[in-house]
Amino acid sequence: MVMQTRRRKGIAVIALALTAVLGLSACKEEQQILHVGSKDFTESMILAEMMAALAEQEGIVVHRSIPYGTPAVVFEALRQDKLDAYPEYNGTGLVLLGQAPLSDGDEALNRVRTLYRDLGVEWLDRFGFSNDYVIVMRPERAQALGIETISDLERLGSVRFATDVTFTQRPLDGLGAMVRRYGLTQGPSLAFELADDGKREIIRSLLDDQVDVAELFRTDPQIEEYGLLVLEDDLGFFPVYEAAPLVRSQALDTFPPLRDALDRLDGKISAENMRALNADVELNGRSPSAVALDYLIEAGLLEATASGAAVDTMNVALGDLDSLSGPAGRAVRAARAAFPKRDIEIVTAPNPLDAVSSGNARLAVVGTEAFYDLGEERANLASDAEALGVVGYRLAHLVSRPTGPQSLADIKRLGVGQEGGASDRTARMIMRALDIDGVEVISGGSGDIKAQFEAMTKGLVDAVLVLAPVGDTTVLELTESGRYRLLPIDGWTDGTAPLRFSFLRPAKIPADTYPGQPDAVETLSTQIVLAGPPSTREAFGAQGPGTTGTAATQPIPADTVMKLNAALGSTEVVDPAVTVAPALRPQLQEEPRPLVADAAVSIVNIVVVAFVVWLIYLLFARSPRREIDS
């Protein structure tokens, strides 16, 4: 009995020891994962991806939280050991601790290194560029008012700003502090979340004259893209913002190769490099991870065979006028969210659905008109592609000179941009639907819409039709001179047009959407959808460029369709004029059919059951015993 008790105690001790060892091993394994994060804007995500890739090249296991959140949230996560490293700016580092910003980069770096060391955090060597805040203005307005510096904004009396939300919250180097330093009067202003298309909204509000000036970063590609004027910070208000890796000291001790890996980025990224990298994501639609990896490989900092360097690509087709600063950009971001292991590449085509059919793209951003061809009397459904989610809407913009035609019926020569594009197809459908004859529709190659506007100025065409989202930046740029006006497209509901071209819906362009447009303008709209191959195709078919690993004709799985919809964030359903993916169709619950009782049938069934029971009784009943005379 004593021996059994000792044996049991021994087994218990061994079990406890094994549990402790396993627990320590699990803890050790958890500590061996480097947690890299970023803020919620493009540049921070690109830099974080570079840091993660260089760490992985050293054999370090990396967990990415890219993006993690706003600057304050990311910094607090680092302090609470929920993040090990992320890219930060020395100017922001001073502000986060309530310190006065500095304009000297070396001084700022030395200061934050001293302050953060006590927090158990280290600033490593700088990437090589400074991304300062800048205040920008439309050049023609600045020239008209003689504004070159931020101090000159005082001439406006009341200044309307468009900024990101974070800039309004910064106490030392944000909007309020800047207004006080320059003695400006702030008028009605707009603030947008960067994570929710904020950059696009800031640019749009500036271009359509909703605000006077906008706040951007010096490395934002939109400054060059839209030719914006950067106002001189003549009082030296904004501090230097030089980017560098911010890393917990414990992480540097846990991963000895990490410091040297990140120091390889010392001075390797110029402001011009960073602007080009940002443009590759924000204007060209590439993922931050792919852009970061390509740059590291080209700079000789990462081996091409390094883990994560080889990523399958997937093409998304856009139209000639689609901009990633508009609804198309929302669709591309949704594709990235639904296909996180694929590098999304952008291809363009007059009708993006053709790229899906040919295997050149897996997804396409199109209007509902793209699903149809123009028949003799009506539009005919010509594509078997399926709509996977709602992206937004395009409106027909019929633009003419102030002295030009007064209505659609007066137009003789109509420019429509690229041949076979959305504007071209829609213009021809409108003419057929309204029975307008004698109009010469003039189409061209990619990018010809701007050339056609110039041709209209010279009187070579009477008007131009552009199918674009309301407030589209391309239309804003083309019409901001005030030399053009919008013509109405009315009379749509007077005949059979709504029946023959049901996907074209009556709409209005709101008043003051464009310069010189005081009243709402009657027009037509089409729904923009994200489309993919039909669900009835074979799982394996012809493959095309940009479809590595998966046939372009393979249907989009139902769970991926739902992820796309969640990422798009639209509550509207797909226009019933086009075919929708099965996952988005109404789902009916299977219910058992009720049994209908019939009296005659019931009686027959009872008799049959009784007869069967009687036969069973006869079969198994014991035979009576016979008495035998002795």
Sign of CA dihedral 270, 121, 69, 299: positive
Choose the weakest-confidence range: 53-67, 163-177, 299-313, 334-348.
Answer: 299-313
Is the pLDDT at 546 greater than 60? The verdict is no
The residue type of 101 is P
Q: What percent of the chain has pLDDT over 70?
A: 85
Task: Indicate the pLDDT class of residue 416, thresholds 50, 70 and 90.
Answer: very high
Q: CB–CB of 315/322 below 8 Å?
A: no
Mean pLDDT, range 497-517, rounded to an integer: 90
What is the DSSP pairing of strand 133-137 with strand 229-230?
antiparallel
Tell me the C-alpha distance between 239 and 91, whole Å: 6
Task: Indicate the pLDDT class of residue 285, thresholds 50, 70 and 90.
Answer: confident
Choose the weakest-confidence range: 339-348, 490-499, 540-549.
Answer: 540-549
Q: CB–CB of 154/181 below 8 Å?
A: no
pLDDT of residue 16: 42
Choose the weakest-confidence range: 99-108, 335-344, 348-357, 449-458.
Answer: 335-344
- Cβ within 8 Å of residue 96, ≥6 positions away: 71, 72, 75
Mean pLDDT, range 491-504, rounded to an integer: 92
Task: Indicate the pLDDT class of residue 329, thresholds 50, 70 and 90.
Answer: confident
Q: How far is CA 170 from CA 78, 97, 135, 176, 595, in A?
A: 19, 12, 16, 8, 70
Q: What is the pLDDT of residues 5-42, one digit of tens each?
A: 445 444 444 444 444 444 444 444 445 899 999 998 88
Tell me the C-alpha distance between 516 and 216, whole Å: 27
Report the candidate in 56, 50, 523, 109 with the shortest Cα–Cα distance to residue 289. 50
pLDDT of residue 226: 81
Tell me the C-alpha distance between 311 and 546, whole Å: 11
Q: Is 121 helix (H, G, I), strand (E, B) or coil?
A: strand
**Full 3-state SS string of 446-460:** CCHHHHHHHHHHCCC
Q: CB–CB of 296/50 below 8 Å?
A: yes
Task: Report CA 318 to chain centroid distance, whole Å.
Answer: 14
Choose the weakest-confidence range: 102-111, 181-190, 308-317.
Answer: 308-317
pLDDT of residue 268: 94
pLDDT of residue 600: 63
Is the pLDDT at 625 greater than 60? The verdict is no
Is the pLDDT at 221 greater than 50? The verdict is yes
Q: What are the start-end ranges of the E strands in 159-294?
A: 161-164, 190-192, 213-217, 229-230, 243-248
Mean pLDDT, range 616-628, rounded to an integer: 56
Report the candidate in 339, 385, 360 with the shortest Cα–Cα distance to residue 564. 339
pLDDT of residue 553: 59
Task: Indicate the pLDDT class of residue 129, thresholds 50, 70 and 90.
Answer: very high
Task: Indicate the pLDDT class of residue 448, thresholds 50, 70 and 90.
Answer: confident
pLDDT of residue 626: 44
Report the candidate in 57, 9, 436, 515 with the shortest Cα–Cα distance to residue 262. 57
Tell me the C-alpha distance between 158 and 16, whole Å: 73
pLDDT of residue 199: 82
| Higher per-residue confidence, 342 vs 526 | 526
Q: What is the pLDDT of residues 197-206, one digit of tens each?
A: 788 889 888 8
Mean pLDDT, range 51-61, rounded to an integer: 94
Average pLDDT, the chain: 84
pLDDT of residue 549: 36
Task: Indicate the pLDDT class of residue 413, thresholds 50, 70 and 90.
Answer: very high
Domains, in order of start, for the chain: 27-128+242-311 (3.40.190.10), 133-230 (3.40.190.120), 345-584 (3.40.190.10)
For the chain, first and last CA: distance in Å?
72
| Higher per-residue confidence, 484 vs 21 | 484
pLDDT of residue 147: 94
Sign of CA dihedral 185, 189, 194, 200: negative
Contacts for 8-16 with beta carbons within 8 Å, 24 or more apart? none
Is the pLDDT at 496 greater than 70? The verdict is yes
Task: Indicate the pLDDT class of residue 393, thresholds 50, 70 and 90.
Answer: very high
Task: Indicate the pLDDT class of residue 2, thresholds 50, 70 and 90.
Answer: very low
Q: DSSP for 171-191?
A: TTTSHHHHHHHHTPPB-S-EE
pLDDT of residue 159: 95
Choose the weakest-confidence range: 11-25, 104-118, 198-212, 344-358.
Answer: 11-25
Is the pLDDT at 437 greater than 80? The verdict is yes
Roughly what angle, to the nearest 10 degrees, separates helices 558-568 and 327-338? 140
Report the candidate in 129, 110, 135, 132 with the shortest Cα–Cα distance to residue 239. 132
CB atoms within 10 A of CB 612: 10
Q: What are the start-end ranges of the E strands in 92-153?
A: 121-123, 133-137
Max CA distance (Å), the chain: 143
Sheet holding 243-248, edge to edge: 61-69, 33-39, 85-89, 243-248, 121-123
Sheet holding 213-217, edge to edge: 190-192, 161-164, 213-217, 133-137, 229-230
Tell me the C-alpha distance between 389 and 571, whole Å: 10
Is the pLDDT at 354 greater than 50? The verdict is yes
